[in-house]
Amino acid sequence: MTDQPAHTSLYRSPALFSGFPELIAAESTRHGGISPTPFTSLNLGINTDDDVANVDENRRRFFRAIGANAYPFASSHQVHGNEVLYATESGRYTGYDALVTDKPGLLIGVTVADCVPVLVYDPAHKAVAAIHAGWRGTAGGIVTKTLARMQQQFGTEAERCYAYIGTCIDECTFDVGPEVAEQFDGAFKRAVADSNKSFVDLKAANAHLLLTAGIPATQLEISPFSTVLHNDTYFSYRAEKGQTGRMLAVIGVAD
DSSP assignments along 39-80, one per residue: S-S----SSSSS-HHHHHHHHHHHHHHTT-TTS-EEEEE--S
pLDDT value for 13: 97
Note down the domain range covering 45: 16-253
pLDDT averaged over the chain?
A: 96
Helix (H, G, I), strand (E, B) or coil at 190: strand
**Mind listing the pLDDT tens digit for each residue in 35-94?**
999 999 999 999 999 999 999 999 999 999 999 999 999 999 999 999 999 999 999 999
The answer to whether residue 6 is domain-embedded is no
Helix (H, G, I), strand (E, B) or coil at 248: strand
Q: Is the pTM above the cut of 0.85?
A: yes
Q: In what order do the strands lie in the sheet with 189-191?
A: 175-176, 198-200, 189-191
Domain CATH for 196: 3.60.140.10
The answer to whether residue 246 is domain-embedded is yes
Of 136, 25, 46, the residue nearest 83 (C-alpha): 136
The answer to whether residue 1 is domain-embedded is no
Mean pLDDT of 185-202: 95
**Mind listing the pLDDT tens digit for each residue in 102-143?**
999 999 999 999 999 999 999 999 999 999 999 999 999 999
Is the pLDDT reported for residue 235 higher than 60? yes
How many domains does one find in the chain? 1
pLDDT band at 5 (very low <50, low <70, confident <90, very high): low
For strands 127-133 and 175-176, give the pairing. unpaired
Max distance between CA atoms of the chain, in angstroms, equals 56
pLDDT value for 6: 53
The answer to whether residue 128 is domain-embedded is yes
pLDDT value for 4: 54
The answer to whether residue 4 is domain-embedded is no
pLDDT value for 3: 53
| Peptide bond just before 41 cis, omega within 30 deg | yes
The answer to whether residue 2 is domain-embedded is no
pLDDT value for 1: 36
The answer to whether residue 8 is domain-embedded is no
